[in-house]
Amino acid sequence: MIRVSVAVETPQYAGLAPCLDYLSEQPLLPGTLVRVPLGKRDVPGLVWDVDPDAAPCDDRLLKPVSEVLQALPPLDGPWRRLIDFSARYYQRSVGEIALAVLPPELRRLEADGLDRRLVKLARRPAPDPSAEAPPRPALSPGQAAVLATLLPACRGDADPACHLLHGVTGSGKTEVYLRSAEAALEAGRQALVLVPEINLTPQLEARFAERFPGRRLVTLHSGLTPAQRLQHWLLAHLGQADLVLGTRLAVFCPLPRLGVVVVDEEHDPSYKQQDGARYSARDLAVYRGHLERVPVLLGSATPSLETWLHAQAGRYRLLSLPERIGQGELPRVTVLDMTQQPKPPAGREAPPLAAPLLQAMRQRVERGEQTLLFLNRRGFAPVLGCSACGWKSGCPHCSAWRVFHKRDRTLRCHHCGFADRVPRACPDCGNLDIEPIGRGTERLEEQVAELLQDIERPGGGPVRVARIDADSTRLKGSLEAQLAAVHAGDVDVLVGTQMVTKGHDFRRVTLVAAVNPDGALFTSDFRAPERLFATLMQAAGRAGRDAQAAARSEMWIQTWTPGHALFAALRAHDFAAFAQSQLAEREMAGLPPYSHLALLRCEARDPAVAEAFLREARDAARALMPPELADELVVYSPVAPHVAKVAGFERRQMLLEARSRARLQWLLAQWAPQLGPLRAAHKGLARWAVDVDPLDI
């Protein structure tokens, strides 16, 4: 019997070793999928590299491996090193990450079941290699210059590096992605393309499928069925898929011939996992490129400030596309000062759109053009209220309001999902006159239809108003159908959340308006201006994508703070100036990227339990810090987040700050093993997690 080290899915706080030892009748290569006994269960595991520092153990105490899934080739060394790094950096166990990123269907299969799946996969017809691709579009001078730098690395003829492709919206970044993937494929390698959200996957998949008809393209995202996800994962792992297109989890997809990694909209917060192992897919993509010595391409019109600083410092190579394809103009930005608009009569609500904006919309409708209204708040109204006693529709399980959804007459909490019927009268005083407070996309859609009801479209008929948000696209296929209607010109005014502000190529949109962006600007999160600027720039980029209409494309912003520096930079489409001002503020305040953060989050029914746990954790962290590091490491006291209670659990958090990433990682490595035993001493603590490089503070 041979001793093997196996990574199994056990949480770090369980106090077990990173990998457990078992006995095998035959030598097993690291990366081999097995099933092993763990307690009273039989669980999946991966044979892992032997830790030379592991404590010795008597073989007589070890259990044998239950089953070896030999039909699956072992996961290779670079993949295992990526998992090892992720576990160390994000303070999770190796097995927890290694098994969590495998397809759920694969973790459930036994050897016979896997054999049947592989036989079925082998029967799939291969793509026709003789299929002809459509003619490639001519490159702009900017694209040609970018590709002259990028393509040698994609072919393997130059040293790989991480590149930042900073291109304005409509500048042809997708064509650069396609040509980079093409160069890697011609060199016999595979391409990995990451997108931030599922709703961007179908249209990008269509672009890649059209360009590479003789190549096998697979997608990886949560919208797939378990069987589809396993099938696509196997095709990638076996080297039969040439292109893999997916959301953040696809960064862990095993690719034996990886040649290039593309991260589209690299600034998007969706790349950060917000539960379980809280990893950043963008950062791991950069590390994976370094591990496997392949080029990484980060693309964005509004890069994150961390990425921008790396590019300015020369750590990343900066590639620029400052102009739109066809020399199209960027939309003219108009900042509408809402303090100068006429006040509504006493007792009446102000209209959702100011008169100048409404007139601009009317002109678009009369010309047969489209308008996009951006409001990042779904539902009919954020809250229902009683004017007599002050009652508001709070959630009984969260410290948040329940949102009024008029279509199904419900009050719904967007944090815990609790929903109830709208009461006929105020629950506190019986007043029948309860009314919506504020405005969501459902209400805006209704009000816009009323405001434009007196206009007739060029072809005849009333103005067609549509809405795209998480509520209207809940059913399978509904998003694709609504987007197709917009592209076909069957919609005159589109109301939507940030789902429609990025990635979509709306050729008929010439006017984009941000109805109420101020709510996103004044929050406690220091990243709020950066996120709002990125969102508004992305929204503006939906206008004027047709070069013939670019000259009359506009972006209108209704704001109560028109003097804010963010809007001045937005008028000039000057991301560099905005980034410079933000970085100067961050440096003065000692905030990322000039410092490095980690959060310890916890939840309990009783807030006193959560706070006591965090206070002891704080004392343990401070006890680990030598006096000479007092100025470089700071552990703050526990505080409540903005939404302190969710689904009946009180949430608390504690911030750790360090001047250098190495110092922070040193402290976390010493401190995290103490948190598991500490949790056992606090009965009633539901869960806790360390969040390295948090996005929401």
CATH of the domain at 28: 3.40.1440
The mean-pLDDT minimum among 87-101, 234-248, 493-507, 642-656 falls in: 493-507
User: Is residue 83 assigned to a domain?
Assistant: no
**Which residue shows structure tokens 């295992």?**
80
Q: Give the burial string for 417-445 (b: 16+ CB within 10 Å, else e).
A: ebeeebeeebeeeeeeebebbbbbbbbbb
Mean local confidence (pLDDT), 551-577: 91
Do 284 and 332 belong together in one domain?
A: no
Do 468 and 522 belong together in one domain?
A: yes
Element spanning 555, H or E: strand 554-559
CB 596 within 8 A of CB 664: yes
Residue 697 has pLDDT above 70, yes or no: yes
The token pair that represents 260 in the structure block: 């290039």
Do 152 and 10 belong together in one domain?
A: no
Check the annotation: does 395 bind a ligand. Answer: yes
CB 289 within 8 A of CB 163: no
Do 314 and 209 belong together in one domain?
A: yes
**Per-residue model confidence as pLDDT tens digits over 584-616:** 999 999 999 999 999 999 999 999 999 999 999
pLDDT at residue 357, as a whole number:
95
Question: pLDDT higher for 676 or 493?
Answer: 493
Task: Find, among 284, 260, 254, the residue nearest to 271 by Cα.
Answer: 284
Positive or negative torsion for Cα 71, 72, 77, 83: negative
DSSP code, position 459: T
User: Is residue 112 assigned to a domain?
Assistant: no
Distance in angstroms (rounded) separating the CA atoms of residues 327 and 138: 13
Residue 190 has pLDDT above 80, yes or no: yes
Examine the fold and report which residue of 306, 326, 346 is the final residue of a domain before the chain moves on: 326
Check the annotation: does 253 bind a ligand. Answer: no
pLDDT at residue 577, as a whole number:
94
Check the annotation: does 162 bind a ligand. Answer: no
Do 373 and 386 belong together in one domain?
A: no
Q: What is the DSSP string of 604-667?
A: ESSHHHHHHHHHHHHHHHHHHS-GGGTTTEEEPPPB--SS-EETTEEEEEEEEEESSHHHHHHH
How do beta strands 685-692 and 633-635 pair?
unpaired
Residue 492 has pLDDT above 80, yes or no: yes
Examine the fold and report which residue of 290, 309, 326 is the final residue of a domain before the chain moves on: 326
DSSP code, position 93: -
CB 150 within 8 A of CB 184: no
pLDDT at residue 12, as a whole number:
62
Do 518 and 446 belong together in one domain?
A: yes
Do 241 and 197 belong together in one domain?
A: yes
One-letter amino acid of 125: P
CB 275 within 8 A of CB 687: no
Task: Find, among 690, 354, 374, 306, the residue nearest to 517 by Cα.
Answer: 374
CATH number of the domain to which 534 belongs: 3.40.50.300
How many domains does one find in the chain?
5
**Per-residue model confidence as pLDDT tens digits over 123-163:** 888 888 888 888 999 999 999 999 999 999 999 888 899 99
Question: pLDDT higher for 460 or 213?
Answer: 213
593 prior amide bond cis, ω within 30: yes
Do 418 and 535 belong together in one domain?
A: no
CB 46 within 8 A of CB 98: yes
- Average pLDDT over the chain, rounded to whole? 91
CB 333 within 8 A of CB 571: yes
Do 499 and 519 belong together in one domain?
A: yes
pLDDT at residue 55, as a whole number:
63
Using alpha carbons, list the distances in angstroms from residue 628 to 346, 395, 631, 637. Answer: 63, 48, 7, 21
**Per-residue model confidence as pLDDT tens digits over 270-294:** 999 988 889 999 999 999 999 999 9
Burial of 610 (0-12, 13-18, 19+ CB in 10 A): buried
User: Is residue 122 assigned to a domain?
Assistant: no
Distance in angstroms (rounded) separating the CA atoms of residues 28 and 68: 9
pTM: 0.93
3-state secondary structure of 443: helix
Long-range CB contacts for residues 118-125, cutoff 8 Å, separation at least 24: 118/71, 118/72, 118/234, 121/231, 121/234, 121/235, 121/238
**Per-residue model confidence as pLDDT tens digits over 631-675:** 889 999 999 999 999 999 999 999 999 999 999 999 999 999 899
User: Is residue 624 assigned to a domain?
Assistant: yes
Distance in angstroms (rounded) separating the CA atoms of residues 628 and 438: 52
Element spanning 412, H or E: strand 410-412
User: Is residue 110 assigned to a domain?
Assistant: no
Do 7 and 93 belong together in one domain?
A: yes
Distance in angstroms (rounded) separating the CA atoms of residues 112 and 101: 22
Do 462 and 508 belong together in one domain?
A: yes
Q: In whole angstroms, what separates CA 628 from the centre of its chain?
A: 38
Tell me how long the chain is.
697
Q: What is the rounded end-to-end Cα distance, in angstroms, of the chain?
A: 51
Check the annotation: does 426 bind a ligand. Answer: yes
Residue 313 has pLDDT above 80, yes or no: yes
Structural domain boundaries, residue 16? 2-76+89-100
Do 318 and 366 belong together in one domain?
A: no
pLDDT band of residue 14 (cuts 50, 70, 90) is: low
Check the annotation: does 389 bind a ligand. Answer: yes
The mean-pLDDT minimum among 301-310, 328-337, 397-406, 489-498 falls in: 328-337
User: Is residue 81 assigned to a domain?
Assistant: no
Examine the fold and report which residue of 310, 326, 342 is the final residue of a domain before the chain moves on: 326
User: Is residue 126 assigned to a domain?
Assistant: no
Element spanning 203, H or E: helix 201-211
One-letter amino acid of 204: L
CB 458 within 8 A of CB 485: no
DSSP code, position 74: P
Greatest Cα pair distance, the chain, in angstroms, is 87
User: Is residue 354 assigned to a domain?
Assistant: yes
Check the annotation: does 413 bind a ligand. Answer: yes
Mean local confidence (pLDDT), 220-234: 94
Residue 268 has pLDDT above 90, yes or no: yes
The mean-pLDDT minimum among 135-139, 181-185, 344-348, 556-560 falls in: 344-348
Element spanning 366, H or E: helix 355-367
CB 30 within 8 A of CB 80: yes
Residue 212 has pLDDT above 80, yes or no: yes
